[in-house]
A = this chain, B = another copy of it.
């Protein structure tokens, strides 16, 4: 994976500082995959990346600082938003995409680290909440399109529906501490679809969306 990144990043912009940062983030990702968040220390990342520990302390200060930087990278990766013309199928594909993301040990370790860092550091908490809000906002198009097609009641809160699709997968990882399987994704998509049809996620006109951001309805 590191090979792929380096090959595709042959004209990596920014010179030495950018190269240092890339080496450190690559090493942090590798450490997470090998040892999980429990094994992530600035010392080990310094050793693995060949970057001086003093540089790491100066630039990232703590493991949480490193995680915030990794999060920025995650935020930039594009996740395809399904648009099959059927809400049930779109939700199913979305749920399976999330499940398969976290079936990768590297991604699961990263997200466990992010959640632990968010609890300890307000900066990490804000960075994480921002990434998730942006992801959910993009995926909420699925719901908006279903409302436009007349599949869902007007006023259905897209963020609430998309959050409900992701929630059981995070619950499995962080609370039940079990494996994320495709069956969980499929069952969640069927359930959330039924709930949305039933109007469980509609809100009165003028009410703010489920994540507390200002309403866009007039």
A interface residues with partner B (beta carbon < 8 Å)? 36-38, 112-113, 115-116, 118-121, 125-126, 128-129, 132-133, 136, 160, 163-164, 166-168, 170-172, 174-179, 184, 187-188, 190-201, 210-212
Contacts and interface: CB of A to CB of B under 8 A. Distances in A.
A125 to B, nearest CB: 5
Given A132-B175, A177-B128, A184 B196 contact: no
A166 B164 CA distance: 11
B133 A176 contact: yes
A175 B168 contact: no
Contact of A194 (B115, B119, B163, B198): B198
A187 B201 contact: yes
Contacts of A163: 168, 171-172, 176
Contact of A166 (B175, B190, B199): B175
Given A198-B191, A200-B190, A170 B175 contact: yes
Contacts of A133: 176
Contacts of A128: 175, 177
Contact of A167 (B113, B118, B168, B211): B168
A170 B164 contact: no
A60 B126 CA distance: 31
Contacts of A199: 190
Nearest to A128: B177
B176 A129 contact: yes
A68 B160 CA distance: 33
A155 B195 CA distance: 20
Contacts of A116: 115-116, 119-120
A174 B177 CA distance: 14
